[in-house]
Structure 1
């Protein structure tokens, strides 16, 4: 299973809530999360260096809190109790802490080289990691496909209040800025990159409405942060797994993020790639989403198309529009392999836009065995869609 808090918490052994501390280990900035003491005073926790954002598990009493070692040698791989906190000669790295009011002070001791560094940590938050962890179908899917990943459910927004530990992992990082892509003097975007995870993600830089600009970037930031957490979770899995992907970015560094369309009314973005961290198969995906730049947030397509509604699993169109889409799909010239994918479009349909004036109805979210069909579908011009639009919808469809 993908770790919720980390491996210990996934078993339900970790007591909630947990305390979050921030401070220094030597000269390096660190953030630590520490659970409540169990019988014998033993605690479980994790920490990361702000500069790299990779979780390192902790376990032990407050005065002898052992730091996990990478599962990267034959002796450690042969053990069944992972993560391990000492080597074959019982050498370890320890945090030797004591309470000083609400703060923790002490020293970090390297049992391999005999090095010692001062520790000083200030208590900054308390929260329950179980409330934000993936559960149910999401947790099972992550375990099968992703292997190891984020401790935060996809439906949870990162914030200083609800997810203080992971929020600091993301919010404190300075992003590299790509070249601005200017559509017109009042509309533009640019790619940004977290240097720790090495893939680019868009941010809106110009829009006539400052409020919409801010709302749109909040959505893009949360999606970017979520993917960053997954990538860093795979790097941190080297303390939990001996698999070949453990310690890597899970191929997120090769993720392709494309802005396929941008107007003052709509922004269409596609996330695609093949990532994973030791699951049964890679997460081959083609995930488009469309943002409403007139009202803010994600586009509600029922406001655009006559007779459209959201069913239990997907957007459903009127019989007339469904027939229209199928007619266009069947009449387009395409390779034979694409024709074999056509039957899957109604069940796995996602909407996106392509410049200058086309809406695309494409396959997204299909199972691993049919991954070759991802992204296939049909492009239909705004002009041809006009008979199926609601009266107020045409303002969205301006090239």
Structure 2
């Protein structure tokens, strides 16, 4: 694993990328945002827009002839004061900072252009309220290139689902309605139904042939989370000319009558000096789609015992330097199953030794004493 390094961004802007360490990056962005004021007006929004900004109202319409969707304020996550929009043909969020001039709402369009220039104002939307929604103009910060803007309010909560219903999709509808609008469309089955591709983000995720509706919903939600992260990552790259972003390799590693397990390996560069990556193990109940904890199968496999067994089963190719480092690590692992056994991968290593996060395989037979003979999954492994 490589150390995390990203461009500065506010806490609100990184809300969908749960795996990123956003808190340490917020202060630089806040200071820089305060220096940007290219569209005129005073800080804040006119009174008529304040309630909409607080609730995160959603609008759809056009800038010139191009379809767009806009969220006026952060909304459901409880963070007000920001806005964002995207052009539907690209699906990439553009951040907007509100200002006011009399009764006009000015939304300053800000795009990340890389670590050298940072955030740059790329346009100004000047909007007025009408009975039908919002109207106004988009223009460059110098006042040139004016385009008409027409936006109508949307009832996202009332929209029909274009994907099978799943807990994650329903949550996204309220928590991040712009992401819901981007991803609520038909996805593409591949390889005879063994995988599905989300077209806008390009994220591909495996499926289990003959799976229950609940398991399919769980796999869809796993993919949904990565698709949101991929689109957010691309938004944070802004106009950077680096051909980077978010890549996922997910594979089914184990199936049995009651269980399915996967491993997800993601690599991403969302701006900054260096890319990063992470691995996550997934284990699901085939009937219910619910996540299965390690303790549901091996209740005696405590964190301390996991570490002891991990160190005892390190792959032979692990070098001496890593063998010196790994005993000092914490006892936090992600896990997945393969026919060879339980796979443990460290998740608590410091960035500087992230490359030592090798996966160790604990044979099922060696864990029989840690298992619960009365557990629902015992006979998946032991007779």
Give me the TM-score of the superposition, normalised by structure 2: 0.67
Unaligned runs of 5+ in 2: 1-7, 14-28, 35-42, 46-52, 75-80, 158-167
- Please name the residue that 1:4 is paired with: 11
> Which of 213, 219, 223 does residue 216 from structure 2 map onto?
213
User: What pairs with 1:134-213 in structure 2 (closer than 5 Å)?
Assistant: 158-172=171-185, 175-180=187-192, 189-195=194-200, 197-198=201-202, 200-213=203-216
Q: Distance in 2 between matches of 1:381 and 1:225?
A: 34
Q: How does 1:318-329 map to 2 (within 5 A)?
A: 325=309, 328-329=312-313
Higher alpha-carbon deviation: 289-298 or 342-351:
342-351
Partner of 2:70: 32
TM-score if structure 1 supplies the norm length?
A: 0.65
Could you say which residue in structure 2 is the equivalent of 1:362? 345
2:199 and 2:282 mapped to 1: Cα distance? 21
> Aligned-pair distance for 1:30?
1.0
Superposition deviation, residue 298 in structure 1: 1.5
How far off is 1:377 after superposition?
3.6
Equivalent residue runs for 1:251-266 within 5 Å: 251-253=245-247, 255-266=248-259
The separation in 1 between residues aligned to 2:194 and 2:262, in whole angstroms, is: 12
Assess, with a 3 A threshold, how the Cα gap between structure 1 residues 27 and 361 changes in structure 2: closer, same or farther: same
How far apart are the structure 2 equivalents of 1:225 and 1:156?
A: 12
1:19-58, aligned counterparts within 5 Å?
19-35=57-73, 45-58=83-96
Larger relative contact order (CA 8 Å, sep ≥ 6):
2
Within a 5 Å distance, the mapping from 1:223-234 to structure 2 comes to 223-234=225-236
Call closer, same or farther: CA 1:249–1:4 in 2, change over 3 Å.
farther
Evaluate the alpha carbon distance shift between residue 327 and residue 70 of structure 1 in structure 2; reply closer, same or farther with a 3 A threshold. closer
Q: Indicate the RMSD between aligned Cα atoms, in angstroms.
A: 4.2
Look up the SS of the partner of 1:16 in the other structure.
helix
2:329–2:349 CA contact under 8 A, matched in 1: no
Looking at structure 1, the residues matched to 229 and 293 of structure 2 have their Cα atoms a distance apart, in angstroms, of 23
Distance (whole Å) between structure 1 residues aligned to residue 277 and residue 257 of structure 2: 31
Residue 49 (structure 2) aligns with = none
Partner Cα distance (1:118, 1:2) in 2: 30
- Residues 248-298 of structure 1, C-alpha deviations (whole Å, 9 max, x = no match): 565414x43333333443333333344333457543423222223244222
1:272 aligns with 2:279: no
Render the CA deviation track for 1:121-170: whole Å, top value 9, x for unaligned: 2212599xxxxxxxxxxxxxxxxxxxxxxxxxxx9985222322232233
> In the TM superposition, what is the alpha-carbon distance from 1:49 to its structure 2 partner?
1.0
Post-superposition offset of 1:358: 2.2
Cα distance, 1:29 vs structure 2: 2.2
Q: How many residues align?
A: 322
Residue 380 (str. 1) matches residue 374 (str. 2): no
Q: Deviations over 1:30-52 (max 9, x none)?
A: 1112249xxxxxx8632101221
Q: Which runs of 5+ in 1 are unaligned?
A: 37-42, 86-92, 128-154, 181-187, 239-245, 310-315
**In 2: Cα distance, 1:157 partner to 1:366 partner:** 34
Bigger CA drift: 110-119 or 24-33?
110-119
Rounded to whole Å, the distance in 1 between the matches of 2:330 and 2:288 is 28
Shift of 1:21: 0.9
**Aligned in 2, Cα 1:366/1:251: closer, same or farther, shift over 3 Å?**
farther
Is the counterpart of residue 389 in structure 1 residue 382 in structure 2? no
Superposed CA offset, 1:188-223 (max 9, x none): 63142444x44x431425235333332x23431332
Pick aligned residue for 2:153 from 92, 104, 123 = 123
